[in-house]
Amino acid sequence: MKSHNCWTQALIFSAFLVMSACGPHSSEDTPSKDRDIRFQEATIGEPCSRSASQPTTCSYGEYCASIPSQCSAVPAAVCDNFSNHGTTWDPSTSTGPVIYDAKVVRFAQDTTFCSTYAPKRVTFRLKVYAPAADLPTSTEGFSGRFYFVSPDGVEINASALQRITTTSDRKNVTFDVNLCLPDGTTSYTAGFFFVGGSEVCVTASEVPVGDPATLR
């Protein structure tokens, strides 16, 4: 895993990603009261109910897709970000949080939120489930657990987040991550992962607010 000096990241990610944990960390599963959570027989293609909390009746590493309503595998993290950084999540042995949905809700000029030297604001909205029911309920709870990964594989402890909504007795959480990018940027791929959990790649382009990003 790569780790650069924190100051080299300040230009692009000014103010919105905490730079305090740029050093290496262990990505192994951490002990928990739910170590008995194990991989179940795959249920891909089986019908499921979107009205229930994810992953509903689907197995760990899957989620209930909307069209059609059936169990689907979460997307693999296939992008330069994780080719350079590396991946550790394995649904057959891991037990950590699973990022099952990611989309772009904003990609626009915003010099009020961002600075004049990095005025492009992109906001990613992530949805996550955790069978261990230990998801954070505040920004502080993400520290040391949730990371952003740049295209060159640099990981940054992302703890300055927005709109954190934790439900289902801490088994589900939805939250936003903001990045500020240089002027002229029209497309950007970000990587995200939870320690002991899954990784995801999300590509944002200058498209209307609410359009889905590309999940890889």
Mean pLDDT score, 80-109: 95
Tokens 């590396």 identify what position?
86
Tens digits of per-residue pLDDT, 134-193? Answer: 999 999 999 999 999 999 999 998 865 999 999 999 999 999 999 999 999 999 999 999
Q: Is-cis flag, bond preceding 55, omega within 30?
A: yes
SS3 41: coil
Q: What is the pTM of this model?
A: 0.78
Higher pLDDT, 11 or 70: 70
Tokens 């029911």 identify what position?
133
- What is the rounded distance in angstroms from the CA atom of residue 15 to the CA atom of residue 114? 8
First to last CA, the chain: 20
Tens digits of per-residue pLDDT, 19-32? Answer: 333 333 434 443 33
- What is the rounded distance in angstroms from the CA atom of residue 129 to the CA atom of residue 97? 6
CB 203 within 8 A of CB 188: yes
Tens digits of per-residue pLDDT, 96-136? Answer: 999 999 999 999 899 998 988 899 999 999 999 999 999 99
Higher pLDDT, 42 or 205: 205
Residue ranges of E strands in 11-145:
62-64, 71-73, 98-109, 120-129
